[in-house]
């Protein structure tokens, strides 16, 4: 019985690690795509900031709806806000 608990813990750790890796890959891909579109003048920096801010707003609404049951939405909001702030330095 104790062995089952250990196996369950290992599965949770594996799933959490996979989710974290997926999240990191996704954010890197989106940031790279955003910068690529900006550099090719397909998307302006202002447009990119607006898109990211919409995503942050949606994430914030999800966090409010979940009432703090999961810190993931809050962390996502913080990350998206940081990306938007970073891009705002390029508006000029």
The pLDDT of residue 56 is 92
Is residue 77 predicted with pLDDT exceeding 70? yes
pLDDT of amino acid 39:
94
Give the model confidence (pLDDT) of 12-30 as tens digits: 566 667 778 888 899 899 9
pLDDT tens-digit map of 34-54? 999 999 999 999 999 999 999
Q: List CB contacts of 60: < 8 A, sequence separation 6 or more.
A: 73, 77
Count helices and strands (H / E) in the chain.
Answer: 3, 0
């Amino acid at each position: 019985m104790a062995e089952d608990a250990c196996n369950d813990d290992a599965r949770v750790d594996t799933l959490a690690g996979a989710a974290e890796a997926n999240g990191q890959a996704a954010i890197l891909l989106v940031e790279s795509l955003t910068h690529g579109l900006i550099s090719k003048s397909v998307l302006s920096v202002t447009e990119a900031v607006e898109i990211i801010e919409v995503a942050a707003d949606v994430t914030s609404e999800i966090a409010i709806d979940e009432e703090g049951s999961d810190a993931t939405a809050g962390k996502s909001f913080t990350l998206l806000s940081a990306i938007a702030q970073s891009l705002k330095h390029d508006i000029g």
